[in-house]
Structure 1
Amino acid sequence: MADDRAALPLPDYDHLPVATLAHRIRALDRDQLAVLVSYEQEHGAREPVLTVLRARADQLDAGAGPSGGDPAAPAPEAAPAPSGPLLGDSGAPPVNPPSHGDPTNPAQPR
């Protein structure tokens, strides 16, 4: 089964979110898409995934061409975690609780 995965046109295909799949498969040609459909039918048979793959196959059959881009390029689901002063490195105090429901808050109306 590992050999099957290694031959797929999308790296880490099994772990891609369905929401990003439609975007990633746009760069594949008909033969590459057929490999994914066959793999999905044999392994996961996830209907939402098959629906996306078949819809793209229909587009290609109707004359659409693969878009530019690299289907293996890093995507938001694999991007490194953001860092910087807005995420806690600023030295600011921790977030205060909301003013409603805190009887010690002088700004809260009584």
Structure 2
Amino acid sequence: MADHARDHLPLPDYDHLPIGGLESRVRSLTSDDVEDLLAYERSHADRLPVTELLATRLEQLHSGAEPTSGDPGALRPESGGRRAGSAVSPATASPPFSSPPHGTPDQRGKPKGDRT
């Protein structure tokens, strides 16, 4: 069963937003919206970095800051623009590496006592 409070939060998928994206997105919220998020956060996950971020933004709004548009390029999990796979290609991969031989038939290993 879905949490009723979660369904009425001012940011969709709030629980899945990374902190870096959250910081930018709360700039567009009113003080009432930030208070709602702060109350929700404290009663659910209560993540210290998030509560500090929300409390700081709330103080800014109470000190006269105005909501802004936020950063439209902030990480948004609901946009579905995730990359999959590795960014490494044959052109950027490291050269092949062969481990040193240890006791191969043409290059026998020596006991430590025989080293000079």
Q: Same fold (TM over 0.5)?
A: yes
User: Residue 95 of structure 1: which of 66, 80, 90 is its match?
Assistant: 90
Separation in 2, partners of 1:74, 1:98: 32
Q: Which runs of 5+ in 2 are unaligned?
A: 100-116
TM norm structure 1? 0.69
Which amino acid letter does the alignment assign opposite residue 95 of structure 2? S
Separation in 2, partners of 1:39, 1:64: 22
Separation in 2, partners of 1:82, 1:15: 17
The structure whose Rg is larger is 2
TM norm structure 2? 0.65
Aligned positions of 1:27-106 closer than 5 A: 27-68=28-69, 75-78=74-77, 79-81=80-82, 95=90, 98-99=94-95, 101=97
Identity across matched positions, percent:
35
Q: Which runs of 5+ in 1 are unaligned?
A: 88-93, 104-110
Separation in 1, partners of 2:21, 2:37: 15
CA offset at residue 101 of structure 1?
A: 3.0
1:6 maps to 2:7: yes
Partner of 1:107: none
Separation in 1, partners of 2:46, 2:82: 32
Seen in structure 2, the aligned counterparts of structure 1 residues 20 and 81 have a Cα distance that, compared at 3 Å, is closer
Cα root mean square deviation, aligned: 3.0
Seen in structure 2, the aligned counterparts of structure 1 residues 32 and 49 have a Cα distance that, compared at 3 Å, is same
Partner of 1:108: none
